[in-house]
Structure 1
């Protein structure tokens, strides 16, 4: 799937993306964050700040400068990755605003024997909201109301928020404006991710404000393409296993041959997520069990 990678982060400056909605991008570019993490300010006189980003004082200063004296009455957090949630605690210290949104960080499943979580350092283990929001909850602020949509997959506690009375949805890292979302077990789960894609496709919002990259317009068509991309990747993995037993690096070398080799480890995490899902559905078998280091082969499990 191709993406429009043209994006100006305007570091330190709030950019209006819709009436009453401004975006600030943290200066934390990288292979998993594109140009940086997007923070959103909702409202004009009393503000809701969504995803204050990493524990970066300069970004918190930029948020407060953009507020220009307006009260930040609430802080919303979509999920507990260190590029999204730690800034909430710094902003609360500066403003006294309560933190709402996702619950504490949790893995999608327990670690297997001798398994290591490759993205353990990316989880914000210190996040504790003042109010945890659940699927269907409506968060009411002075100038907006947001419907909570549980979208597990990228993380187990991932949430999106729909701005009621508008066509806008804050899609965080479930649907990004530059790349497919990383789904990496045990923190992430591909089956849950695909179910959450269907959840968004069942809704009417068609403008997404993502956690990374620019505004996504005609979002439902974009998400349909995203789903087809994932299904095509799954089929390509199954076809690779028709030729015999393979490891994840074997599969990545073929399917991601045109991709910068420095990104192959991240690609391997995505392949692992697909393989774990396929094994759970009995479409592949793993020796000794589905892990990053296992050997995989096609065929229905005999279990």
Structure 2
């Protein structure tokens, strides 16, 4: 997908309030998802986002009663206002990492959450970060993917917290949900929704495997040339056709890929 993205309403239970923090890593901004069962006055808010240009105030005004705040992971563009927002709404914050929970226990894999008649299932999906989780909204056949799947492009494996082995396992798990018919659509934390979950997950797997093969080839080439295959040197080979402004993020993924290759060679 390409073009601008402004959020809006999706399905019978979802509304995306786009945070005003566009950037290279955040695309159009952070998608704050407001979920509410039809007829219910109580919402669940996923990734309330950053402190940016009145986003907290907008959330406070537009969300009404909130029964729970959820975090897909700890990065500030998702979590920065969580505690303040939850205090205003008089509710708890839950995340996989207990350090980011407020007034509640950490999330557990496969846990079913019920708030105001809305049912969500927790799906642990480490890879982008160690604490990344997704949320399955079964009545909509939707997976809220956090940063594991983006609306445009592909995500960063944010080494050392993010690791490639868990990333592959998580994408395979998400793909199995699509294959089983439990997930048809992906609502990401950045960029537009994906209406064909299976296709985008297949693309993610193929892309990362291709990159891994390119990294392995770059390491061999650098060694053959008598150079040290440092992460930066590998980036300069593999990402030579990518804007250098993205090389810093690419290096995180390359570090994760080098670690993955080293583990399998030992």
Distance 2:30 2:101 in 1: 20
Who is 1:227 aligned against?
205
Who is 2:226 aligned against?
none
Who is 2:67 aligned against?
73
Please list every run of at least 4 consecutive aligned residues from structure 1 whose deviation after the TM superposition is greater than 3 angstroms.
none
After superposition, the C-alpha distances for 1:216-248 in whole angstroms (9 at most, x for unaligned) are 110111101110100011111112223242222
| One of 150, 165, 170 as aligned partner of 2:124 | 150
| One of 277, 280, 287 as aligned partner of 2:260 | 277
Computed over aligned residues only, the root mean square deviation of the Cα atoms, in angstroms, reads 1.6
Distance 1:251 1:56 in 2: 35
| One of 54, 76, 80 as aligned partner of 1:86 | 80
| One of 232, 235, 257 as aligned partner of 1:252 | 235
Who is 1:128 aligned against?
101
| One of 168, 186, 190 as aligned partner of 1:208 | 186
Shift of residue 269 of structure 1?
A: 1.3
| One of 33, 54, 57 as aligned partner of 1:58 | 54
CA contact (8 A) 2:94 2:105 kept: yes
Q: Does 2:6 correspond to 1:23?
A: no
Who is 1:42 aligned against?
35
Q: Does 2:4 correspond to 1:7?
A: yes
Distance 1:177 1:8 in 2: 9
CA contact (8 A) 1:17 1:215 kept: no
Who is 1:288 aligned against?
none
CA contact (8 A) 2:51 2:81 kept: yes
CA contact (8 A) 2:95 2:101 kept: no
Distance 1:61 1:18 in 2: 25
5+ residue gaps, structure 2, are: 224-228
How many residues align structurally? 253
CA contact (8 A) 2:20 2:53 kept: no
| One of 195, 199, 204 as aligned partner of 2:169 | 195
Distance 2:45 2:233 in 1: 43
5+ residue gaps, structure 1, are: 106-126, 283-300
Secondary structure, counterpart of 1:72 in structure 2: strand
Pair 1:97–1:56, CA change in 2 (3 A):
farther
